[in-house]
Chain A
Amino acid sequence: MKKFFTSRPFKAIVTVLCVLLMVSIVFAAVGRRVAPQSDFLGTLLSPFQTFGASVTRQIDRMFTAIGRLDTLEDENNRLREELRTYRQQLVDFDEYKRENEFFRDYLEMKQQHSDFTFQPAIVTARDGADACGSFSIDAGTRDGVALHDPVITADGLVGYISEVGSTMSTVVTVLDPTLRVGAVVSRTREAGVVAGDTALLGDGACGLSYLASSSAVTIGDTVLTSGAGGVFPAGLIIGTVTDVKKDPSNVSLYAVVRPVIDARSLTQVMVITAFEGQGGLGDE
């Protein structure tokens, strides 16, 4: 032990400490400044201090968070619930908006034809095997729908009810060869019959037959329902003439009509359950 106190390293350490102490005293007394050795060490250790402080802060946060875990979970659940509510409101809003647009289109038609009684319906399914585009809707006899009631959209005629159940019905479109509609050309007021034609099905068109050979019908003319027969009300748009040909019998003219409605893309329709002058096809 005595040896250590008399050794050179000990003397050197004591000397350095004395020098440092003196420097500290002098700096403190004279300039009230940090001693250079402290300044030097502080600069050297500063990054470690920052790191240490950061780690300490994180640990502190973690423990605080653990302490608040229950509160945070409650808050999280509450926020999730709020978000779900807002999302649902957004979906409802979009739905109302779409419905509003749908009914606004019909309002104009209702104002023009105050005698129409409408029953809105949603397209529930398509018959994939039928190229004529027949489909099912979610309205039936319970909703006042009857066999052969006309089915329309705000744009024009879609077809009619070919089969009816209590809660659903099947709609045959104007492209179907079994459906015949009394028609009139809007510009010339010439009458004819619109019916589906399998030869035109591929183009999504149907035919307007029994036009007089002297007919003035031209491409672009609009074809409307004539109201003849009482199945369809007069004045519904069926489509536009895209071609005029001679009938195979060479007695009359035949116009190719492209319907205004694309039956495949329909999602909502209106069934006209009653209108002025409504007749019917009976049970055929």
Chain B
Amino acid sequence: MSKKADRKGGLVLQYVLLGVLALFCWLLQSAPGGFAVIAGCSPVLLPVLTAAVGVYYEERAGAVFGLLCGILMDIYTVPSVGFHAVVLTAVGVVCGFAVKHFFTHSLWAALVLCLGAALTYFVLYWLLFKCILGGGGAWFYLVRFSLPAALYSGAFGLVFCPLVRWLHRRLSFA
């Protein structure tokens, strides 16, 4: 009984901490003034965080986390009605599924999936908003801004993966 309660308490604490982390990342990435802008590229942190959550908490938790983060991003970026929610949910599911079936549970796998998530997000964003709906110079935009920003964002996996792994291991009391 006590073990069960401990496990439940640990899970609640983990979800609360992940929620706080997501809010913090969202505030950072969407803050007016820009967060850590390098050569015109600023990182988008939530897809990477979603990938890390998908890797360590598996696809169902990854999907829910991705959906919530996506909705959070969608609320404040009107042109992307539903875009972020869909992409981030997919990122959570795919990362959880991939690590279960195609990768071993290692930090390297998590980092690769985070980078993949960032690349997927930025390429889809470019495809929809710059290639299809945007003006000219889409290829230049992809090479000059989208891909460097994806790599830059993916590098934040170095922070998120150990952090989420620590949360998952340390607070899983059972």
List residues of chain A with CB under 8 Å of any chain B CB: 123-131, 134-136, 162-165, 168-170, 176-178, 195-199, 201-202, 204, 264-267
Taking a contact as CB atoms under 8 Å apart, the answer to whether B137 and A264 are in contact is no
- CB of B145 within 8 A of CB of A170, answer no
Question: Is B35 located at the chain interface by the 8 A CB criterion?
Answer: yes
In angstroms, Cα B30 to Cα A126, docked, is 5
Closest B residue, CB atoms, query A165:
B78
Distance between A33 CB and nearest chain B CB, rounded to angstroms:
80
A165 CB contacts on chain B under 8 angstroms: 78
A165 to B134, CA, bound (A): 21
Contact A129 B122 (CB under 8 A): yes
Residues of B within 8 A of A169 (CB): 78
Given A196-B135, A198-B137, A264-B37, A125 and B42 contact (CB-CB distance below 8 Å): no
- Closest approach, in angstroms, between the C-beta of A247 and any C-beta of chain B? 14
The answer, among B76, B122, B136, for a CB contact under 8 Å with A124, is B76
Residues of A within 8 A of B31 (CB): 125-126
Inter-subunit contact B35/A128 (CB<8 Å): yes
Residues of chain A lying within 8 A (CB to CB) of residue B44: 128-129
Name 9 A/B residue pairs within 8 A (Cβ), A-sorted.
A125-B32, A126-B34, A131-B40, A168-B78, A177-B134, A177-B137, A197-B137, A199-B137, A202-B144
Given A131-B40, A170-B78, A177-B134: A198 and B140 interface contact (C-beta under 8 Å): yes
Question: Assuming A198-B144, A265-B33, is B135 touching A127 (CB within 8 A)?
Answer: no
Q: Is B43 an interface residue (CB 8 A)?
A: yes
Q: How many residues of B contact A (CB 8 A)?
A: 35
Q: Are A170 and B137 in contact (CB under 8 A)?
A: no
Q: Does residue B129 face the partner (Cβ distance < 8 Å to A)?
A: yes
CA distance A195 to B37 in the complex (A): 23
Q: How far is the CA of A134 from the CA of B134 in the complex (A)?
A: 13
The distance from the CB of B77 to the nearest CB of chain A, in whole angstroms, is: 5
Contact status A125-B76, CB under 8 Å: yes
Tell me the smallest distance from the CB of B51 to a CB of chain A, in Å: 16
The total number of A-B Cβ pairs within 8 Å is: 94
Minimum C-beta distance from A172 to chain B (A): 9
Asked if B160 is at the interface of the complex by the 8 Å CB criterion, the answer is no
Assess the B140–A199 pair: CB atoms within 8 A.
yes
CB of B136 within 8 A of CB of A136, answer: no
The answer to whether A264 and B144 touch across the interface, beta carbons within 8 angstroms, is no
Q: Is the CB of B32 within 8 A of A135?
A: yes
- Does B89 touch A at the CB level, under 8 Å? no
Chain A residues, Cβ within 8 Å of B129: 130
Q: B50 on the interface (CB 8 Å rule)?
A: no
The interface residues of chain A lying within 8 Å CB-to-CB of B149 are 129, 131
Let me know if B121 is at the binding interface, CB within 8 A: yes
Cβ of B103 < 8 Å from any Cβ of A? no
Which residue of chain B lies nearest to A265 when distances are taken between CB atoms in the complex? B33
The closest CB in chain A to the CB of B125 belongs to A129
CB of B173 within 8 A of chain A? no
Can you add 6 more A-B contacts, CB < 8 Å, to A126-B42, A131-B149, A176-B135?
A125-B77, A126-B30, A126-B32, A131-B144, A177-B136, A265-B33
A115 to B164, CA, bound (A): 55
Instruction: Please give, as numbers and ranges, the residues of chain B lying within 8 Å of A264 by CB-CB distance.
Output: 32-34, 37
For the complex, what is the distance from the CA of A37 to the CA of B122, rounded to whole Å?
97
Give bound CA distance, A265 to B33, whole Å: 4
Cα distance A267–B80 in the bound complex, in angstroms: 22
Q: Mark B45-58, 1 if CB is under 8 A from A, else 0.
A: 00000000000000
Q: Given contacts A129-B122, A170-B77, are A178 and B137 in contact (CB under 8 A)?
A: no
Hey, what's the 0/1 contact readout for B116-141 against A, CB within 8 Å counting as 1?
Answer: 00000110010001000111111011
Tell whether A201 pairs with B40 under 8 Å between CB atoms, given A128-B29, A136-B76.
yes
From residue A95, how far is it (CB to closest CB) to chain B in Å? 16
Assembled-state Cα–Cα distance A162/B78 (Å): 9
- Taking a contact as CB atoms closer than 8 A, the residue among A131, A162, A177, A265 that contacts B79 in the complex is A162
